Structure 1
Amino acid sequence: MGNREKLLAGAARCLREKGYDRTTVRDIASAAGVSMAAIGYHFGSREALLNQALFAMLDEWGDAMGRALVPVDDPGGDPVRHFAQLWRSLIEQFATHPDLWLATVELFMQAQRQPELRPQLADGVRQGSRGMAAILESVPEGEVPPGSVRTLGAVQLALMSGVMIQCLSDPENAPTAEEVLDGLRALSKLAG
């Protein structure tokens, strides 16, 4: 593994352990086992390295999460049961990997301070909406109807984000998968 890869791995470890704002150049260099100057040489700045490491972590996590959320091949299976299982899996992920979810929140904050991150972040959100719509529609990503990306996928992503914030900030009182489903049923009655 070269210095560039070591720096990305060290930055990812620091992001998980300390977060974006608290990670220093010294922390990253120490975690990677390379000199601090290597950060400037390979990435130009601490921020550029952390951003690249953060997007790489989220891409890796998104791929793994997408595979975990796809319903088990169950011809004629109950879509409500599949949706409930999706929510159980999501909430389990919030509890199991809070560091990744905190990194996601930090990324949104950094994008407000670093406008150059916004296009990449917006692209990631669009990909997430498309992937979530594909999972919910049980179709390959390339076959998701455009309207489903902006409604089904985007709304599911928004709901996920809100539940994730609740799980991170107040895990004892955050909704369970069953409570999320009950809430959606109640909301659908109001939306008529």
Structure 2
Amino acid sequence: MGHREDLLDGAKRCLLEKGWVRTTARDIVAASGANLASIGYHYGSKDVLMMEAFLKLTEDWGERIGRTLEGAAEPGVTREERMAAVIDGIVGSFAADRRFWAAQLEVMGQLGNHPELRERFAAVLPQGREGLVAIFEGVDDTEVPGGAVRTAGYLYYALFTGLWVQWLIDPQQVPKGRDVVEGMRRALEGTVLDAPRK
């Protein structure tokens, strides 16, 4: 690997271990074995490097969760059962990647202080929605049409971030997938206040 890749790997480690705010350029240099000047040469600034590291960690998570959920689309599984299994799989992944999700929340908190970070984040948001449609629907990203990203992508992103934040607050209070699916069904049918189905 070259200095560019070493820096990216070092920044990823620092982001997970120290978070966005507490990571310094010297921390990244120590973690990567590169020199301080190479950050500016390869990335322009520490913040750009940290953003690249953050996006790479997010991409890595997407690949892992895609592999984890491959079995959710088994033959004979109903749409509701598949959706519940996907939700449970995503929530289960939070525990395996706790430091990553804590770092995600910290990055979100930095958006107001770093306009360039917010712009970069906004630029990749459609890809995130597309990826979530692919995960929830059990297809490759390349099979997701634009209309699905503009509709279901927003829904899945809202569902995903809501579950993630609730899990960070208290993992014991995150609902099971079947309860979320039941809640979605009831909301669409207008039966939210009716007695639960037996």
Written as runs of structure 1 = structure 2, the 5 A alignment for 1:1-192 is: 1-72=1-72, 74-190=74-190
Number of aligned residue pairs = 192
CA deviation profile, 1:49-104 (whole Å, cap 9, x unmatched): 11111111112222322333345553343222211110111010111102222232
% same residue: 40
For normalisation by structure 2, the TM-score amounts to 0.82
Structure 1 Cα separation of the partners of residues 191 and 121 of structure 2? 31
Compared CA separation, residues 183 and 9, structure 1 to 2 (3 A): same
Larger RCO (alpha carbons 8 Å, 6+ apart): 2
Write out the 4+ residue segments of structure 1 that deviate beyond 6 Å after TM superposition.
none
Of 22-31 and 143-152, deviating more is 143-152
Question: In structure 1, what is the Cα distance between the partners aligned to 2:86 and 2:180?
Answer: 11
What are the ranges of 5 or more consecutive residues in structure 1 without an aligned counterpart?
Answer: none
Structure 2 regions of 5+ residues with no counterpart?
A: 193-198
**Deviations along 1:131-180, whole A, 9 cap, x unmatched?**
33234445554443433222222101111101100101212222232332
For residue 12 of structure 1, report the CA deviation from its aligned partner. Answer: 0.5
Structure 1, residues 6-26: CA drift from partner, whole Å, max 9, x if none?
211111101001110011122
**1:57–1:159 CA distance, 2 compared to 1 (3 A):** same
- Return the offset for 1:106: 2.9
Change (3 A) 1:148 1:70: farther
Does the Cα contact within 8 Å between 1:83 and 1:136 map onto a contact in 2?
yes
